[in-house]
Amino acid sequence: MKAQVITITSGKGGVGKTTATANIGVALAALGKSVVCMDADIGLRNLDVVMGLENRIVYDLVDAIEKRCRLRQAMIRDKRYNTLFLIPAAQTRDKNAISPSDMIRVCDEIRPEFDFILIDSPAGIERGFRNAIAPADMIIVVTNPEVSAVRDADRIIGLIEAEEKDPVRLIINRFNPSLVKRGDMLTSEDVLELLAVDLIGIVPEDESVLVSTNHGQPVVLNHNSLAGKAFENISQRLIGEEVPWMNLDGKSDFFGRLSRLIRSGRS
């Protein structure tokens, strides 16, 4: 078994990197895959909170890199899926505590034992970002359908291209079909046309994401949530399954939306 290392990044902060990492991790584990989620946001750790594992942290990534513990000791097993692990970031250090080669070394050490290693990148284009993408086999850029987030995503994709990191996939998060319909939000076509990378999922704006984040229960665990379903679809695409796109284009008629609501309510 040789894990695929996927780094989730965005450039701009607050677009949903950590949410995406936690949810894709949980969804992959639910599909029977062994997954490590690694928080590379040294100094501003969040992934542990979103995954609801905050109170189990003993050692962190920096402890493992600086050999105060073995890497295994820094890995926290998820309380819901026993093939899902978290390596938390250090809260008391900063991005300069680790280097790109440390990240490559850590990933190489655990690659043989897992199917996926998901790295939650910090925002920005500096050291922390370079640490996070160094070991990546695939990079997922998360953006919102919003001008400033797309602009930053474009910048990040340019930097990723310059590092010759392939392939790049895009998640459009917090997509609001009714705003698009009113012409007040960028459409997915607008975003894709500008960024010119392959889409791996569109996640609709969904209150349940916020609620579940606050409870440390990733939204994929909530089967009535459209956003949760979207993350599940992304995970299936990651393991090579063909999943039809959710109808979120904002152009659907009332009956289309109604039937979708009924369907999601039933499942």
Partner 1 sequence: MQIKGIKDGILVRLEMDEWDIQRGELIDQINAQETFFKGAKLALDVGEQVLHAVDLGRLRDELSEKGITLWAVLSESSITRETALIYGLSTQLQAPRVPSTRNSGGLPIEGEPALFIAKTLRSGNKIVTKGHVVIIGDVNPGAEIIASGSVVVWGKLRGFVHAGAEGDEKAVICALDLSPTQIRIAGKAATAPKRKGKPRAEVVKIQDDHVVAESWRNKGRL
Contacts to partner 1 by CB under 8 A: 147, 151-152, 154-155, 157-159, 161-164, 194, 196
CB 250 to partner 1: min, Å: 21
For residue 135, give the 3-state DSSP assignment.
Answer: coil
CB 164 to partner 1: min, Å: 6
**Considering beta carbons, is residue 138 or 194 the nearer one to partner 1?**
194
- DSSP single-letter state for residue 13: T
CB 60 to partner 1: min, Å: 28
- d(C-alpha 86, C-alpha 117), whole Å: 10
**Considering beta carbons, is residue 35 or 157 the nearer one to partner 1?**
157
Q: Which H helix or E strand runs over 235?
A: helix 226-238
For residue 210, give the 3-state DSSP assignment.
Answer: helix
Instruction: Confirm if 170 and 144 have CB atoms less than 8 A apart.
Output: no
CB 123 to partner 1: min, Å: 15
**Considering beta carbons, is residue 39 or 152 the nearer one to partner 1?**
152
CB 156 to partner 1: min, Å: 9
- DSSP single-letter state for residue 75: P
Give me the helix-helix angle, 147-162 and 188-195, nearest 10°. Answer: 30
Q: Which H helix or E strand runs over 203?
A: strand 198-204
**Considering beta carbons, is residue 109 or 163 the nearer one to partner 1?**
163
**Considering beta carbons, is residue 148 or 178 the nearer one to partner 1?**
148
For residue 131, give the 3-state DSSP assignment.
Answer: helix
Instruction: Confirm if 20 and 118 have CB atoms less than 8 A apart.
Output: no
**Considering beta carbons, is residue 104 or 159 the nearer one to partner 1?**
159
In sequence order, which residues have a C-beta less than 8 Å from that of residue 138 and are 6 or more positions away? 4, 5, 6, 7, 166, 167, 168, 169
Strands 84-87 and 76-77: what pairing? antiparallel
CB 158 to partner 1: min, Å: 3
